[in-house]
Amino acid sequence: MKNVIITGASGGIGKEIALHFAKSGWNVIATMICLKQGKELEGITNISCYALDVTSTESIEVAKNKIVNDFKTIDVVINNAGVGYRSFVELSEDSKINHIVDVNYLGVVKVCRAFIPIFRTQKKGHFINISSIAGLVNLPLGSFYHSTKHAVESFSECMAYELSEYNISISTIQFGNTPSNFQKNVTKSERSSLASYNNLMDKIGVILENKTKKNKDLKPQIIRELLKIAENPAKNFKRYTIGFDANSLSILRSRIGYRLFGRLIRQSVLK
């Protein structure tokens, strides 16, 4: 049986990825910031839970030592842990900026850094870094979330060159809004005295909520695609864009350029 590590596996899409892989015959190493959050995974065949805080190098190292003691090899690491922050730059807060960078970007960096030596010793391994369509296009109120996902894309591609000699490959996954706890848990900036700010925040919220509701079939599609990638990883760095929204935005942005794309966003969202 193959072994997969999944970060942020206590809830949301991370938990469902863990369940799908386990049902498909994989040993799932489900990691989460607090083991109490993963009670729904306890006792499920092929799933083992470990405490791991992606923002803490010490926590990652402790978890890694336990995992490699329990499992002879690690085939795939899925960096799934992530948070959202929807804010105007003017109203942003240091603590919230630091948190999203620590989880969404530096968390991926630290987990990869910790497990590269394991993969290198094994002479094989695959990192799947969950990005977002936000890592390929830019939309209103996404200054911080989009920035972290762009960073994951660049980091992953650069790292792939470094590790190709050791039979270690990297993929990134982009998709749009999918029904899960993620959107419900997105942190937002406080209401402002500026009416235009409040109106735009409300408008973006409605747009994303409606998109999420329409994408009811997206989550199963993402999970199935992740399993396919894990079972047959590409040798060289590869981006996978999943779902109609993500593919449409990606193709549109690349074909018409940033200026026309920006005009389209302003006309459809800002007016």
Q: Write out the two tokens for 8.
A: 């942020």
- The whole-number pLDDT of residue 184 equals 60
- The whole-number pLDDT of residue 211 equals 65
What total number of domains does the chain contain?
1
The CA-based angle 177-248-12, given to 5 degrees, is 15
Catalytic residue among 50, 105, 145, 240, which? 145
- The whole-number pLDDT of residue 181 equals 59
Question: Would residue 145 show up in a list of annotated catalytic residues for this protein?
Answer: yes
| Half-sphere CA count of 162, side-chain side, radius 13 A | 12
Reported as a single tens digit per residue, the pLDDT across 204-217 is 777 777 766 666 67
Reported as a single tens digit per residue, the pLDDT across 175-214 is 876 655 565 667 777 777 787 788 888 887 777 777 666 6
Q: Is residue 68 a contact partner of residue 118, using CB atoms and an 8 Å limit?
A: yes
* Distant-in-sequence, close-in-space partners of 23: CB < 8 Å, separation ≥ 6: none
For residue 119, what is the domain's CATH number? 3.40.50.720
Rounded to an integer, what distance in angstroms lies between the CA atom of residue 205 and that of residue 239?
28
Say if residue 101 is exposed, middle or buried (CB neighbours under 10 Å; 0-12, 13-18, 19+).
Answer: middle
- The whole-number pLDDT of residue 271 equals 66
The residue range of the domain holding 193 is 3-270
3-state secondary structure of 43: coil
Q: Which parts of the chain have pLDDT scores under 70? A: 177-185, 211-216, 271
pTM over the 0.85 mark:
yes
Comparing CA positions, the residue from 15, 149, 170, 166 lying closest to residue 77 is 170
